[in-house]
């Protein structure tokens, strides 16, 4: 079943988003990475995941909100199909940190897709990044952090709409970055955010 639905979902995501993928200063690679992107639409995770080359896609798991992706059998099935790592946004506690869970899940093989803005953003300005990305980088300094800018997908399916309008979107993938030694949380998050924004104008 999954052999049929996964290619179908990938094709559907590509057709609806008309996404062009640009690898700027970065090459597709199966090494362990964290792709972090701006978040404007429910389609973000699916489209970004679908636009990765197949061998990378098989090793990459989008991190998504459990309250949305567990709502209803279709969404639940889709989340399983593209191997999403669901995080319960309401139950984040110190002893149950989602960062630890993510790291446990990916082991030393898989990559992640995260949206550090925390929720979808429907303004033109990007929201400040949540600190999760910083702790990921701190606990696993070997992970490549890859900034991604997703353009125009918010017009394909804006917040609160049910039907998508198949316009053309663009996904720009930038140069990998790491946590610098001695860099504090705010500096790092600001640098990460500007790396994403740089892809917007690139």
Partner 1 sequence: MQHLIATIQENVATESTVTQPALLDFWTTVMMLSVLVGLTILLTIGQFLKRQPESNFDPAIIRNFNKRVITWLTICVLLVMSLLFNKTVTVVLFGLISLWALREFITMTPTRRGDHGTLFWLIVGFTPFQYVMVAMNYYDLYTIVIPVYASLFIPARIAFTGDHKRFLERSAKIQFGLLICVYALSHTPALLYLDLVYWDSAAQSHLPWTGKTAGLLFYFIVVVQVSDMLHFVWDRLAGKHVIAPAINSTKTWEGVIGAACCTTLFGMVIQFATPFTWYGAGFMALIISVMASSGSMTMSAIKRDRGVKDYGTLVQGHAGVLDRIDSVCFAAPIFFHATRFFLNAN
Contacting residue, 11, 31, 58, 165, with partner 1 by CB under 8 A:
165
* Binding flag, residue 53, partner 1 (CB under 8 A): no
CB of 154 to partner 1, least distance (A): 8
DSSP 40-89: -STHHHHHHHHTS-HHHHTTEEEEEEHHHHTSSHHHHHHHHHTT-EEE-G
**Total count of residues recorded for the chain:** 202
Which lies closer to partner 1 via its Cβ, residue 22 or residue 57? 22
- SS3 call for 62: strand
User: For residues 43 and 56, is the Cβ–Cβ distance under 8 A?
Assistant: no
Per-residue contact track with partner 1, 83 to 112, x per CB under 8 A?
A: ------------------------------
Contacting residue, 89, 122, 190, 200, with partner 1 by CB under 8 A:
122
Quote the distance between the C-alpha of residue 2 and its chain's center. 22
- SS3 call for 48: helix
The piece of 50-58, 106-114, 137-145, 159-167 that touches partner 1 (CB under 8 A) is 159-167
* Binding flag, residue 58, partner 1 (CB under 8 A): no
* Binding flag, residue 200, partner 1 (CB under 8 A): no
User: For residues 66 and 89, is the Cβ–Cβ distance under 8 A?
Assistant: yes
Residues of the shown chain interacting with partner 1 in the complex, contacts defined by CB under 8 A? 18, 20, 22, 122, 152, 155, 158, 161, 163, 165-170
């Amino acid at each position: 079943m999954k052999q049929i639905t996964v290619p179908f979902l990938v094709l559907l995501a590509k057709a609806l988003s008309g996404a062009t993928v640009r690898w700027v200063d970065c090459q597709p690679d199966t090494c362990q990475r964290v792709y972090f992107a701006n978040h404007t639409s429910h389609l973000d995770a699916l489209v970004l995941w679908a636009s990765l080359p197949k061998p990378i896609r098989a090793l990459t798991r989008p991190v998504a909100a459990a309250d949305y992706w567990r709502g209803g059998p279709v969404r639940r099935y889709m989340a399983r199909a593209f191997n999403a790592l669901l995080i319960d946004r309401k139950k984040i506690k110190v002893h149950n940190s989602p960062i630890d869970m993510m790291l446990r899940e990916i082991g030393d093989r898989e990559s992640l897709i995260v949206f550090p803005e925390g929720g979808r953003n429907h303004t033109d300005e990007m929201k400040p990044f949540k600190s999760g990305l910083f702790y990921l980088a701190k606990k696993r300094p070997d992970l490549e952090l890859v900034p991604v800018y997703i353009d125009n997908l918010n017009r394909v399916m804006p917040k609160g709409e049910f039907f998508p309008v198949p316009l053309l979107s663009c996904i720009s993938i930038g140069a990998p970055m790491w946590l610098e030694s001695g860099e504090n949380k705010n500096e790092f998050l600001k640098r990460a955010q500007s790396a994403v924004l740089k892809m917007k104008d690139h």
